[in-house]
Amino acid sequence: MAGSVNKVIIVGNLGREPEVRTFSNGGKVCNLRIATSESWRDRNTGDRKERTEWHSVAIFSEGLAKIAEQYLRKGSKVYIEGQLETRKWQDQSGQDRYTTEVVLRPYRGEITLLDPRRDDGNGPRDGGSQQGGGYSGPSGYSDERNQRPDFDDEIPF
C-alpha cells in the first residue's frame, strides 16, 4: 500500500538460546524468544504488579541471523527492530491458526547487542572514540559514510 509503515522496536532479554533452522532451499531462519516487561502499582491495593511479555522473533536476513546465532545467548539483552507479520497455519485437526511474529527481513531490520563487553583479558575494544574530523569540506558534507554497514565479515557492534 502506498504510504505505510510497519515497525516494531523491542529491547529485552532472550529467554533461551537462539534457534537456527535451515530450509530445503538453503534459506535460514533464526528464531528468538525475547521478554520485555512493565510494572505498575495497582490502583486499588497499591501492590506492585509486573507483567512479562514474550515476543517471537524470526530473522530471515542472513547477515543478522549470523550475528544473532553467534553473539546472542540465553539472557542476552538486545535491541531488535523488525516488522509485524502474522502467518496462518493449520493445526493437527486442520483448523486455521495464526501466529504473529516480529520479523527481520533483509534491509528491513536491525539488531544491536546491549550486553556490556565482557573484558576477557583482551584489551578494550571500545575506547573513547571521538567525534572524528575529516567530516567537512566545501559543501559541509562528506560522503565517506554513505556506505553499506558490513554485517557479514565482521562484528558490527
Partner DNA sequence: TTTT
Say whether residue 117 binds DNA (CB under 7 A).
Answer: yes
CB 20, min distance to a second copy, A:
12
CB 2, min distance to a second copy, A:
5
Which x/- pattern over 6-25 shows residues binding DNA (rule: CB under 7 A)? ------xxxxx---------
Positions 118 through 137 that interact with DNA (CB under 7 A)? 124-126, 128-131
On the CB side of 122, CA atoms within 13 Å amount to 5
Strands (E), 44-119: 48-59, 77-90, 96-104, 110-113
Name which of 14 and 104 has its Cβ closer to DNA. Answer: 14
CB 133, min distance to a second copy, A:
8
With CA atoms as reference, report the closest residue to 79 among 156, 145, 147. Answer: 156
Name which of 73 and 87 has its Cβ closer to a second copy. Answer: 87
Residue 18 zone, left/alpha/beta (φ > 0; ψ -120 to 50; rest)? beta
Positions 39 through 58 that interact with a second copy (CB under 8 A)? 39-43, 48-55, 58
Q: Output the CA angle 109-114-119, nearest 5 degrees.
A: 135
> What's the Cα-to-Cα distance from 15 to each of 20, 74, 107, rounded to whole Å?
15, 6, 26
With CA atoms as reference, report the closest residue to 12 among 102, 106, 86. Answer: 102
Say whether residue 100 binds a second copy (CB under 8 A).
Answer: yes
Say whether residue 105 binds a second copy (CB under 8 A).
Answer: yes
Residues that bind DNA (CB under 7 A): 1-2, 12-16, 33, 35, 37, 50, 52, 54, 74-75, 77, 116-117, 124-126, 128-131
